[in-house]
Each structure stands twice: as C-alpha cells, then as structure tokens.
Amino acid sequence: MDLRRQIEEKAGSPVRRAVRVFGGYGPSATFRLFLEDGRTIFAKGAGKGSNTENWRVLPIEEAVYRNISAIAPIAPRYYGSVSVEGWHLLLLEDVSGAKKVPPWTEELALQAVRDIAAFHVRAVSEAGNVDKMTGKGVIDNWLSIKNNSDERNYFLCLFQNRSEGEAWLDAVIDSLIPMEAELMRPDQPWGFIHTDIRSDNLRFRDGNLVLFDWALALNGPLLFDAGFFFPSIEGEGGPTAEFLLPEYKKVMTAHGIQFPAFAEYSVAVATAGFFATRAGKPPIPMLPRLRSIQRLQLGPALRWSCNILGLPQPPELRKNE
Ligand SMILES: Nc1ncnc2c1ncn2[C@@H]1O[C@H](COP(=O)(O)OP(=O)(O)OP(=O)(O)O)[C@@H](O)[C@H]1O
Ligand SMILES: [Mg+2]
C-alpha cells in the first residue's frame, strides 16, 4: 500500500495536504498533515534526505511511543507508524496549537520541572526497556580540554578575552575533571530519562508540559534530565538551575527519591563540559543553528557549576552573533 493510503487508514480520514515543519536543530523529516475532516496530525520520521543518525534513532523513538506507558500523560498521542520503501513515519497528535517557550516565566519553568519529576517517578519501573546510558561524550570533556590542545583552543576562543579565559581555566580545571567523572555513578537514582529536554522539544498545553522527540531516551541518572535542561532555560531568559532544582527535588523527595550531593555537582559540571567542548567548534553544515544553542547553554552551565562548587566565575564569553 502506498504511503498516503497507509496514513489515511491510520488517521481515519483522507489527507488534504502536507506541509513540511522546521523546528529543532537537525534535519528530521517532520510534516503537518491536514485531513479532510478538518483535523491535523503530525508526522515525524525519516525519508529522502535523512541522515544515518535519523534512521538509527527512529526505531528507538517508535518503541518509546509504543511501549513506554509512563510517557503518555506528557507526550503527544501516538496513532501508529507507516512505512514504505525509503520512508518511515510516526503519526503523532499535532500539538502546534500549544504554547511555545521562550519566553519563559518562573511559573512555566516550575511547571515543566514538576511535570518532569512526576514523569520520572512514573517511568522508573520501565527503565529496563531502553538502553543504558554509557556516559560516552559526557564524562570526559574537561579531561579532553586539559589533555588536547585543539580542544583547549576551541574552548578558549569562546571568551571575549582569551588570556583571562585561560587563567580561569587553569585555576579550575583540576576541580572540574573529577566532578564530571562522577556523572554515571550507580549509587544515585537512575531511571527512564528523555536526555534532550529543551524548549524546541516541548510545549505547554492547558498549563501542563508536553514533551516530544523521544529518540534519545535512555536508562540513566535521573538528575541528568533536569540538570541538562536547566542551563537552556536560563540561556533563554528564564529562571536559574538554583531556583528550579529545589522544586524538582521536592517532588522526588515526596516519592522517597533522594539525591546525593555528588549527583548535583557532577551533572552541572558534566553539562558545562559537554557544551565547552562543542560550542566553539566550526559549524556542522547539516546543523547550522547547533553552535548557537550550545553557546547559549554553555554560559549558564558554567555559572551554575562554579556557583555550587564555590569556584571563581569565568570571565565573559563572546556574545552569540
Ligand atoms: N507532535 C508534534 N506536534 C507539533 N509539532 C511538533 C510535534 N513534534 C515535533 N514538532 C515540531 O517539529 C520539530 C522537530 O521535531 P522533533 O523535535 O521531534 O525532531 P528532531 O529530531 O529534533 O528534529 P530536528 O531535526 O528538526 O531537530 C520540533 O522542534 C517541533 O517544532
Ligand atoms: Mg527535537
């Protein structure tokens, strides 16, 4: 059966037209489908023009929508998938009408945090259904800045004044390296996590969080989901990690889930390291907006890390052009 017929069967109505949607930072094939009966649905997947990473993660996202019941209260509804030679699409509830951020408010950010915490509590028992996070790419970024002169250079280029940046880096790096290495310790709460929570992957509907783009879901340290998200909120003009984390911990504590101090320090420092080794590198042609979002998250992640560890704050980063 051709793609259109398959979609119409799953959607329960003929398709009038399809419009390509651009929203995230990558080249995913995403479309809004206008149905004859007046409804719209959203199609996300891989097709002509998709890269190998799109094709790799699509079955993961599909399995999450199919099998992880704990996401249902905060995810778009899943109507099923369609595939033909060269195309594979997930059919989702269209949440285009829901509220977008930025602009953030304290209230919206707190609501997001509470809804993420509640989802984490619900999903812990389903964590065994996804791959375990390995820590690859997140636990040794400061180490590579220390040991590799190219990495060090890309990072230092991000500062308005390179020599001030260098003096700061040399003063703090030996404190950061052991901290980032603790990110994956097993003696902290682990569970089912999204791993890519950011404003382009969420909306608010009736005041509640709607979270999509489940392609990178893993079994990992719960605090990673919150700690990786917070710097993006501050970077987009919203509240800080210091303001939001207590709200997350309050919900988790009410469900008997508590975090050791190292979990908090390590997620702040590892998040800063993640962006520190990426934000200053040359643009990737397929992902033209990636470096600017990485720079936007780097500043708050560095600020948060230094604040909670009592380290000197870094000098000014160059502004995003
Ligand atoms: N169910 C939905 N309803 C409405 N819009 C959606 C829905 N799912 C995704 N979008 C929009 O499409 C964009 C891309 O979707 P998604 O985040 O799932 O994929 P992605 O892999 O990040 O894509 P990209 O390659 O664009 O980064 C989102 O940023 C959002 O703007
Ligand atoms: Mg996305």
Quote the ligand 1 centre to 16 CA distance (angstroms): 21
The CA-CA-CA angle for residues 305, 216, 84, to 5°, reads 160
Confidence of residue 180 (pLDDT cuts 50, 70, 90): very high
User: What one-letter code names the amino acid at 186?
Assistant: P
Query: For atom 19 of ligand 1, which residue has the closest CA?
Result: 213
Confidence of residue 23 (pLDDT cuts 50, 70, 90): confident
Quote the ligand 1 centre to 213 CA distance (angstroms): 6
Query: For atom 8 of ligand 1, which residue has the closest CA?
Result: 212
Q: For the chain, give the longest Cα–Cα distance.
A: 64
Instruction: Determine whether the shortest distance from the Cβ of 44 to ligand 1 is under 6 A.
Output: yes
Ligand 1: atom nearest CA of 214 is: 18
- Length, in residues, of the chain: 321
Query: For atom 12 of ligand 1, which residue has the closest CA?
Result: 23
- Residue 277's pLDDT is 98
- Residue 301's pLDDT is 98
pLDDT at 78 over 90: yes
Confidence of residue 236 (pLDDT cuts 50, 70, 90): very high
Q: How far is CA 202 from CA 102, 103, 221, in A?
A: 11, 13, 21
Over range 141-148, report the average pLDDT: 98
- Residue 142's pLDDT is 99
pLDDT digits (tens, 9 = 90+) for 241-287: 999 999 999 999 999 999 999 999 999 999 999 999 999 999 998 88
Q: How many CA atoms lie within 13 A of 189 on its CB side?
A: 24
Helix residue ranges per DSSP H, 148-240: 149-156, 162-180, 222-235
Over range 211-222, report the average pLDDT: 98
Ligand 1: atom nearest CA of 95 is: 3
Ligand 1 pocket test, candidate residues 101, 213, 294, most atoms within 8 A of CB: 213
Task: Look at the block and give the residue holding tokens 């209260």.
Answer: 73
- Using DSSP's 3-state secondary structure scheme, residue 29 falls into strand
Instruction: Determine whether the shortest distance from the Cβ of 315 to ligand 1 is under 6 A.
Output: no
Of 64, 16, 101, give the one whose Cα is nearest residue 219: 64
Of 171, 150, 181, 165, give the one whose Cα is nearest residue 277: 150
Strands 218-221 and 87-93: unpaired
**This prediction's pTM:** 0.96
CA–CA gap between residue 44 and residue 32 (Å, rounded): 9
Whole-number mean pLDDT of the chain?
Answer: 96
pLDDT digits (tens, 9 = 90+) for 82-115: 999 889 999 999 999 999 999 999 999 999 999 9
- Residue 37's pLDDT is 95
Quote the ligand 1 centre to 92 CA distance (angstroms): 11
- Residue 85's pLDDT is 84
CA–CA gap between residue 40 and residue 19 (Å, rounded): 11
pLDDT digits (tens, 9 = 90+) for 39-55: 999 999 998 888 899 99
Considering the chain, what percentage of its residues have pLDDT values greater than 90? Answer: 91
Q: How far is CA 59 from CA 199, 268, 313, in A?
A: 23, 30, 42
Domains of the chain are 3-93 (3.30.200.20), 106-309 (3.90.1200.10)
Strand runs (DSSP E) across 108-245, as ranges?
Answer: 190-193, 202-205, 208-211, 218-221
Phi-psi label, residue 273: left if phi above 0, alpha if psi -120 to 50, beta otherwise: alpha
- Residue 96's pLDDT is 94
pLDDT at 300 over 80: yes
